[in-house]
Amino acid sequence: MSQSQSSQQASSSSSAPATEASPLLSVPSGGKHHKRHVSYSDYAKSFLTTHHATQIRVDISSNVVRYRYIDAVAYKGSVIPKILIPATIVTVWSLLWTVLYEVYEITWFAIPPQLISILGVVMGLLLVFRNNTSYDRYWEGCRTWSSIRTQIRNMARIIWIGVAAKDGQQEAVFRLKKGAMNLLMAFASSTKHFLRNELDYKYSDLAPLIVHLPDYHPSNPNPPELVNLPIEISFHLSSFISYCKEHDLIDGAQQGALNSGLASIVDSLAVFERIRNTPIPVAYSIHLKQTLVLYILSLPFQIVAPLGWATIPVTFMAAFTLLGMESIGGEIENPFGYDENDLPLDEYCTTVREELNRIMTRPTEYSPDSWKVPYEDEIVRQSTMSLSKATIERAKAIIERKESIRGEKLAARVKFGQDSSSSSSSSTAV
């Protein structure tokens, strides 16, 4: 069959009248199953024609991993601003002792370089442990934010689609659902401010989302004293879930799913508090800095004899490397602040808010009855047809086999009856 003939048959079959049943379950009359499918090229042409030849472009540049060599000299986002002054002081320190050794020939402070090997191993272990611990905290914070976003999406889906209004209650339930959606967005924003020790609620990304609550309405002259606003919001969400169940707006399964999602985001808040409130022990942090400073300051004494004037740049490079590693560990230890390398909490909250706002622009009810005939690729269509032929052949073989067995049984019964009658007549003659 040619492509044009198949597309004509597809269009004729799709335009045929359907039965009175659901459009999704109905099969167009006057054609077989495979006649309803359209090739991909015809579908693409039809789609572009229907949508005024709009070109759909896929931007794949953001998905290509590229190594940027310019990052080797990048300043923004690096720890150079924090370590440049300490590294410069150490360099001046090494310059002083190098001048004394090379110009004034004062050599009493030069010591053998064996101390480099001993302290170098200790410093490596301390820095590796510090950076691994800090990055674990950073990664756990990122993973927990992903969990919050997932649970907020699930709860928003159930609230917007699952909460069904009865006759005459559409407007009231719609307003109720919008208030709950705003509380979900407010939970994310309030968590961000709470982790940054910003305990007030009068922020541009938070106050409008809770204005429908009596305690935080502008008409309330005495707003409550805030300690943990995310927990307060979770109380209102819990009351919303109970209200919906009492008024038969949701069933038991939906209530369980909403309560489970709410418990999950509250648990994530506890994880955030643990990360923020339990930093690396102060004694370990202080001892690491003291050991690092002693190692760097003693470095010129050990390398000035073999390196001479090269002691100055070598000391600077060692100080730059070691101080940078220690500074990175301290910066990502608490990933919820405003540092350049902290988690982008503002971006996370903006993403949640945009997604939920898009959801609220969509209908509150979806029905599979409105679905059209789904598209199937040519490979799927051919495999479906071959599978149908194989099934039909197998069914025919089974039927023929059953008929053969039935005929054999019938023949055996007839033969058994004839043998019985002949034996009885012989006995009567005797």
Q: What is the DSSP letter of 60?
A: -
As given in the structure block, the two tokens for residue 286 are: 């202080």
- At 394-421, the pLDDT tens digits run 777 888 888 888 888 888 777 766 666 6
Where among 368, 393, 425 does a domain terminate?
Answer: 368
Q: What is the pLDDT of residue 253?
A: 94
Where among 320, 339, 368 does a domain terminate?
Answer: 368
Helix (H, G, I), strand (E, B) or coil at 19: coil
Helix (H, G, I), strand (E, B) or coil at 100: helix
Q: Please indicate, yes or no, if residue 60 is contained in any of the structural domains.
A: yes
32 and 145 assigned to the same domain: no
Q: Please indicate, yes or no, if residue 199 is contained in any of the structural domains.
A: yes
- At 144-172, the pLDDT tens digits run 999 999 999 999 999 999 998 877 788 89
154 and 30 assigned to the same domain: no
313 and 202 assigned to the same domain: yes
Q: CA-CA distances (angstroms) from residue 195 to 128, 245, 345? A: 27, 33, 10
21 and 125 assigned to the same domain: no
Q: What is the pLDDT of residue 405?
A: 86
174 and 28 assigned to the same domain: no
For residue 334, what are the domain limits?
Answer: 94-368
145 and 290 assigned to the same domain: yes
Q: What is the pLDDT of residue 430?
A: 46
Q: What is the pLDDT of residue 376?
A: 72
Where among 48, 67, 86 does a domain terminate?
Answer: 67
27 and 141 assigned to the same domain: no
Q: What is the pLDDT of residue 401?
A: 84
Q: Please indicate, yes or no, if residue 421 is contained in any of the structural domains.
A: no
Distance of alpha carbon 335 from alpha carbon 344, whole angstroms: 9
Residue spans of the chain under pLDDT 70: 1-67, 378-392, 416-430
Helix (H, G, I), strand (E, B) or coil at 326: helix
Q: Could you give the residue ranges of the DSSP H alpha helices within 158-227?
A: 170-195
18 and 126 assigned to the same domain: no
Residue from 236, 151, 223, 233 nearest 191 by CA: 233
Q: What is the pLDDT of residue 365?
A: 81
Q: What is the pLDDT of residue 132?
A: 93
Q: What is the pLDDT of residue 64?
A: 61
Q: What is the pLDDT of residue 65?
A: 59
Q: What is the pLDDT of residue 2?
A: 43
* Sequence-ordered list of residues with C-beta below 8 angstroms from that of 285, at least 6 positions apart, any chain: 130, 279, 330
Q: Please indicate, yes or no, if residue 428 is contained in any of the structural domains.
A: no
284 and 346 assigned to the same domain: yes
Distance of alpha carbon 136 from alpha carbon 325, whole angstroms: 15
61 and 101 assigned to the same domain: no
53 and 104 assigned to the same domain: no
Number of structural domains (the chain) is 2
Q: Please indicate, yes or no, if residue 135 is contained in any of the structural domains.
A: yes
13 and 125 assigned to the same domain: no
Q: How far apart are the first and last CA of the chain?
A: 77
Q: What is the pLDDT of residue 383?
A: 61
Q: Please indicate, yes or no, if residue 198 is contained in any of the structural domains.
A: yes
As given in the structure block, the two tokens for residue 59 are: 């931007």
Q: What is the pLDDT of residue 225?
A: 85
Largest Cα separation within the chain, whole Å, is 149
Q: Please indicate, yes or no, if residue 407 is contained in any of the structural domains.
A: no
Q: Please indicate, yes or no, if residue 402 is contained in any of the structural domains.
A: no
